[in-house]
Amino acid sequence: MTVLSPPRPPAIERALRDARTWCAGHTIDDRPALVHALRVTVTIGQHVPAPAQDVIVAALLHDAPEFAPTERDVYQTLTVGYGTEVARIIAALQAEHRALDEPDPPIRVDDQPVLLASTADKIVALTSLLRRAQSTGNVPAFFDRRPVLCGLLPHFRGFQRAAHPRLPGSMSAHLDAALTPIERATAYSQRVGAR
């Protein structure tokens, strides 16, 4: 049983419908974008007993600013449909995503709803990347072709360490378990390349 198992509260049911609609035709990590949204949401529920409904809705819709129709302001649509807290969490997650393109992105762990959704998003993304790398049969080469991602690994580790005291222990451990094998693969690749 997961946080998305029926019967679902009406807001979560609506968010699931909107996520299906907005994610249709889009992919994240070589899979349908809806699968990513569902995994992020379920990951929160695996580690947080009775998570707040706003956090679940925001997790389902966290990529809405990228995928929702552009005729209307997506944050206005989210606020009208789901309330200011959901729109606020999603805006913070989008700001965090954009900051990853900047040098030395900030690490913020002071906003618990955002922290939970952000950590779950990282767990799912890193786990998916590792799975894809393992499926190639050459994990170091997979990451060698992704220097931008490799450059972000210290940021992700810094996030995990800063977030650790504020997260459920199992969630921090899950992020560590997703990050460590990627760090090892890239460290091995750097050692071999230095020879």
Q: How far apart are CA 158 and CA 8, in angstroms?
A: 36
Q: How far apart are CA 12 and CA 58, in angstroms?
A: 10
- All structural domains of the chain: 10-193 (1.10.3210.10)
Residue type, 29: D
Residue 38 near residue 5, CB atoms below 8 Å: no
Residue type, 161: R
Q: What is the largest CA-CA distance in the chain?
A: 59
Torsion of Cα atoms, 166 then 171 then 177 then 182, to 10°: -70
Residue written as tokens 């170091």?
A: 140
Q: pLDDT digit of tens for each residue in the chain (195 aa)?
A: 899 999 999 999 999 999 999 999 999 988 899 999 999 999 999 999 999 999 999 999 999 888 887 767 899 999 999 999 999 999 999 999 999 999 899 999 999 999 999 999 999 999 999 999 999 999 999 999 999 999 999 999 999 999 999 999 999 999 999 999 999 998 855 555 544
Half-sphere CA count of 171, side-chain side, radius 13 A: 25
Which residues does 69 contact at the CB level (< 8 Å), separation at least 6?
22
Of 163, 185, 180, nearest in space to 172 by CA: 163
pTM of the predicted protein model: 0.93
Residue 20 near residue 34, CB atoms below 8 Å: yes
Q: How far apart are CA 23 and CA 164, in angstroms?
A: 31
